[in-house]
Structure 1
Amino acid sequence: MPDESRPLILTLKLDQPSFERLDALRREHFPVERNFLPAHLTLFHHLPGGDPGAIAATLRGEMANTPPPNLRAIGWRFLGKGVAQGFDAPALVAFRARLAARWSDHLTPQDRQPPKPHVTIQNKADPAAARALFQRLQAMFEPFDATGEGVLLWRYLGGPWEPLGEFPFAVP
């Protein structure tokens, strides 16, 4: 499959302590045979892959004027066959809305939906095992703060993702 037909994905780069915390949980609970990626918070699941340079140019312009967003972990989300850490992140949601407006003609139905910021630590698991993990994690949940340091652009390769660029938020 040519690169142009492979979609691009945009994720948030979290501060290192938050990333390490969530990635450790993902490595522990995500099915090994499906865990191609480290923990990530997806902003867009399917951007057109034909011109990554145009996507990068838009990101550079937006990032230059956007300070790092703060996120607050607000609890675990049960996904039916998995579990995700949910976040309250008004500045991140506003930033994503600006990008969505610029790319509106190219968004899939999934990416047109209002965002619910989260990091999936388990997916495609047995529903009973997922519910048990959700209940265990929710019982010991303590809110924590995180910061977005930038965004990461990827090309989807049918399982693994190819990194295409990192774009930091403006220094406050």
Structure 2
Amino acid sequence: MTAPLILTLQLEPAAAAHFNQLRRSHYPAYANMVDAHVTLFHRLPADEPRIVDSLSGIGALVSFTLTVNAVQQYTNGVAYTLLSPTLQVFHHSLQQQWLSFLTWRDQQLLRPHITIMNKVTAYKAQQLHQRLTADFVPFEIGATGVQLWRYCKGPWELKETYSFEG
């Protein structure tokens, strides 16, 4: 069976560098196999031609901003949550086009976030959450496209980048 595909949002270089640095600092090294990312779809079938067909047409879309609006603590991790009506509309449009082959998880409402710590104790997650929220102020970052990855049970393999050109 061919490895499934993952679709992520591509962030502007400065934002990607910022979140990658946070992830390198706080994510356990043994488990940190990919850069910081915003997952749009977790498990797409690699042999489905409609995926590439849909993504090939996104060049007409314009780059847009997302608001990094909060630091969220999970049981064993920490993430920054994101708000963007544009992203929600874009994601919903792809969901409708791909509904027949999406997993249950990928059919759900998108809750965009960037995980910077995971697979740690609840105590470590709580400590980082408290540190990051102490002086947190919402800020904006830019989205410049999407990236399609092949899941390889470890580091992901970049298959294609589709930039927002319009």
**TM-score class, shorter:** over 0.9
Match of residue 125 from structure 1: 120
Match of residue 55 from structure 1: 51
Match of residue 105 from structure 1: 100
- Following superposition of structure 1 onto structure 2, how do residues 1-172 of structure 1 map, counting pairs within 5 Å? 2=1, 4=2, 6-51=3-48, 53-61=49-57, 63-171=58-166
Secondary structure of the residue aligned to 1:32 is: coil
Shift of 1:83: 0.4
Shift of 1:112: 1.2
| 1:55 partner amino acid | I
The CA distance in 2 between the partners of 1:16 and 1:64, in whole Å, is 18
Residue segments in structure 2 that go unaligned for 5+ positions in a row: none
The CA distance in 2 between the partners of 1:26 and 1:11, in whole Å, is 16
Secondary structure of the residue aligned to 1:101 is: helix
The CA distance in 2 between the partners of 1:75 and 1:100, in whole Å, is 26
The CA distance in 2 between the partners of 1:69 and 1:45, in whole Å, is 22
TM-score for both structures, normalised by structure 2: 0.96
Shift of 1:100: 0.5
TM-score for both structures, normalised by structure 1: 0.92
The CA distance in 2 between the partners of 1:137 and 1:167, in whole Å, is 32
Shift of 1:12: 0.5
Shift of 1:170: 2.7
Residue segments in structure 1 that go unaligned for 5+ positions in a row: none
Shift of 1:107: 1.0
The CA distance in 2 between the partners of 1:73 and 1:80, in whole Å, is 20
Aligned-pair identity in percent equals 38
Preserved CA contact (<8 Å) 2:68 2:83: yes
Shift of 1:58: 1.1
State the Cα deviation string for residues 108-128 of structure 1 (Å, max 9, x = none). 111111111110001111111
Shift of 1:161: 0.6
* Displaced runs of 4 or more, over 2 A: none
Number of paired residues? 166
The CA distance in 2 between the partners of 1:155 and 1:66, in whole Å, is 24
